[in-house]
Structure 1
């Protein structure tokens, strides 16, 4: 007879028995899962280490760049009047400057018109050039033509002028008298003024009526429909009593590597200085020190064994991690021959207990007073890699570790392959256990069915024996 409930015939807990047998089949899964957790932890740590090595390499690249040791700053005794900025490599110097006039842009304004009114049809021809001689001298930029319809207001005319990109900008000013068209050169300087000539739809281009009221033209009887608010002019100054002029208030071509920003006319001389940017150099050095200490701390924590807690770091005994830490500390003690400074220790950078790097500020400041020798320590070129500047060596070291065939890349790939193999092994155990469960259930159910049949046969025989005994009694 069929057994609908496993164990009903035999009285055995078949499900419990099979569950325990399957648990034995799955027993290898626990150590595999524990191993997987360890591998993932190592893989994660190596990912962090690679990021830290990359940061260390970036910091070393900055130190390997000669410009990092040519950093200079500019100083001004009146930065609100004369500012100064300098490019790397500019020689330290000082000077005195006086500003007699700032550069200005030409500006014109129309007479007031009722708000929203039109001015008449025609064409405005706008040309950039100079009024320095009294007459207009056109510049090299092409003139633009602005077509004005009878329906155009000052606002729509301003929009059309701006769309023409002709070296001027236009806007509308509203006041109690109505509205005025304001036109201004987009750049300062006496050679960047402008002329506006009108071809008026009323046939008269110089009657200050219709479109000609928006003209500003020095030719043909010096007709000006618009009023000059500000003439275009150059900045004028003296540097150490030597006169200079500039079309812009940002003077970048008078002194090599130095840009002057003129903001106000001066009444007394302003002293300017160019000096070595020790703060910038110190910042680059500290960034490298911080990057090294971060990776050193990570490696120290990951590889240590705490005898008190009896807890080992995730990379304790990992030869790659231990080797990397030793290699880094060895690199920090490397020598760059051929200069006054040959070791990091010479400029105040020291490896102390536990591999922690520290900076002696006093010693570093003294070294920065000799930027050429400091530069040599980090940037010296040589065909012998061991004789290269420290920045070059460290940059190459980091690049090598992270390269396709680098140590860290290889270790990460090995861990990834181990994770894949572990996953496959776990899948095998799970699959084997699932197949065993099916097999065990089939075997025990068959046994239960057999027991059920025997029990039925036993009952039948017992019944027949009883009936036979009664019939012969």
Structure 2
């Protein structure tokens, strides 16, 4: 703590503070203004770079030939079948009929009194197509529920499962129902019993010829309501493409039309089949996918324009007399050069076909500089000139490739915006250093001022003491008349 002004009576602390404030204020204000401006520019360049990056992503998505190789497969009635297509599918229309679906085998074995009934011991050999599943029934597995568990354990990885179904009336009893996930003709479930004791032999089952029943499950035997019966036969799907009758062990068919996968959902009614009613399968270019990516391109460009407008706008505040509020990148040469390059490429004509400029796709520039899409015109261009659209947009010399080449120098590692950003970071570091230098200089100045004012204070104090001494001495001299100071 400085105790000053004792000799002179002056408020030296206030005087030093006033001088310090007057000396610091201009430089501190200048550094604050520079810091605020630099920080705003740093943030603005980050926003600008992010908008360019989003725009470049949209460019890359459109500049991908795979986008134009995609195919769509459309069913006229998805209740009966659906379809997907790969790039190898040829565009075209096909008629489809669905007579019946592929299904797997399901049988109900002989019924017993309850799930706890002790059936007997031995082994079950369950055949599903070419697969034979062996189930050993020991002394500890004689109940119907234990046999069910043993079947599930043995058939878990072979598409076979077992469940117990109980007839509440007790007439049908409790029975094991076997279900296979393997569809297709010739894969009906058959059960053979060997080395049987007790009533285990009743679980043996040989399915009837499905063709003899026209694929319809036989009714329960009224004379033996607990007899084994078929719930569903295994069979192939039956369908036709362009009038050609076909069959498949699965309801998903990949090898009928090249590059197209059909999934059968429901068979047609007997009346539909009798009337030869068909559904349409349309395989075409993925125009919707191209259109969606063009919309993303327009949205990204418009977002870029919105961002640059907000960063370079001058807003009048408080009427005509107010000070305008300027955006952080007003008059920025980097922004101007980038937008100029983009507009130049967007307006350049290319090739000699029907698609030479964006306007041929229905994409035009509005008065505010943003793009807009005429959806109907774009649909027509994609329908009539799909290949030309691909040539116009993709490739190194396509519009998207040229725009990418123009944008890359700005956002690449070590590019224009990164260099600008590093320069601003250096400026911010220099501002911190200048503040530290200013603090050191002010500290030294404060020390010097206090030393000078304290020296003056001591001198004034000494002179005041000397003056009082002389005045006292002179007033005591003989013949000296004391003068009234007020006169």
* TM, length-normalised to structure 1: 0.76
- 1:242, distance to aligned residue in structure 2 (A): 0.7
What value does the CA root-mean-square deviation take over the aligned residues?
4.3
Deviation at 1:238, TM superposition (A): 1.0
Q: Secondary structure at the match of 1:414?
A: helix
Aligned to 1:90: 89
Match of 1:17 among 15, 24, 37: 15
The question of whether the paired residues in 2 share the 8 Å contact of 1:193 and 1:232 is answered with yes
Alignment partner of 1:328 is 2:328: no
Task: Report if the CA contact (8 A) 2:148-2:176 is conserved.
Answer: no
Superimposed CA distance per residue, residues 436-467 of structure 1 (whole angstroms, 9 cap, x where no aligned partner) = 5566567667776x4898599789979x989x
**1:400-421 CA-partner distances (Å, limit 9, x unpaired):** 4321132222222322332232
Distance 1:439 1:227, change over 3 A: farther
Select 1:408's aligned residue among 409, 414, 417.
417
Q: How many residues align?
A: 439
Write the distance in 2 (CA, Å) between the matches of 1:214 and 1:430: 99
SS in 2 for 1:150: helix
Deviations 1:374-395 (A, max 9, x none): 111112x4xxx5xx11122223
Deviation at 1:167, TM superposition (A): 2.6
> How many Å apart are 1:265 and its aligned residue?
0.8
2:180 corresponds to which residue?
185
- Structure 1 window deviating more from structure 2 (283-292 vs 393-402): it is 393-402
After TM superposition, the structure 1 = structure 2 runs for residues 48-197 of structure 1, keeping only pairs within 5 Å, are 48-88=47-87, 90-109=89-108, 111=111, 114=114, 129-130=128-129, 137-138=130-131, 150=140, 153-154=145-146, 157=149, 161=153, 164-171=156-163, 176=168, 181-190=176-185
Find the aligned partners of 2:412 and 2:51 in 1 and give their Cα distance.
14
Q: Which runs of 5+ in 1 are unaligned?
A: 131-136, 219-223
The more displaced of 268-277 and 113-122 is 113-122
Indicate yes or no: 2:47 matched with 1:32.
Answer: no
Question: Residues 101 and 266 of structure 2 are in contact (CA less than 8 Å); yes or no, is this contact kept in structure 1?
Answer: yes
**SS in structure 2 of the partner of residue 85 of structure 1:** strand
* Counterpart check, 1:244 vs 2:246: yes
Determine the structure 2 residue equivalent to 1:318: 332
The yes-or-no answer on 1:355 pairing with 2:369 is yes
* 1:20 positional shift: 3.0
Q: Is the contact made by 1:118 and 1:154 (CA closer than 8 Å) also made in structure 2? A: no
* 2-structure distance, mates of 1:286, 1:4: 72
Pick the aligned partner of 1:393 from 367, 391, 402.
402
Distance 1:32 1:241, change over 3 A: same
Q: 2:15 and 2:147 mapped to 1: Cα distance?
A: 93
Q: Distance in 2 between matches of 1:361 and 1:465?
A: 110
The secondary structure found in structure 1 opposite 2:250 is: coil
- Residue 47 of structure 1 deviates from its aligned partner by 1.6
Cα offsets for 1:244-299 (capped at 9, x unmatched): 22222222221122222211111322222234444332222111111111112222
Matched, 1:287 2:296: yes
CA drift of 1:115 comes to: 5.6
Structure number with bigger Rg: 2
Any stretches of 5+ residues in structure 2 without a counterpart?
208-225, 273-277, 478-487
Mapped partners of 2:191, 2:131: distance in 1: 12
2:135 touches 2:151 (CA, 8 Å); kept in 1?
no
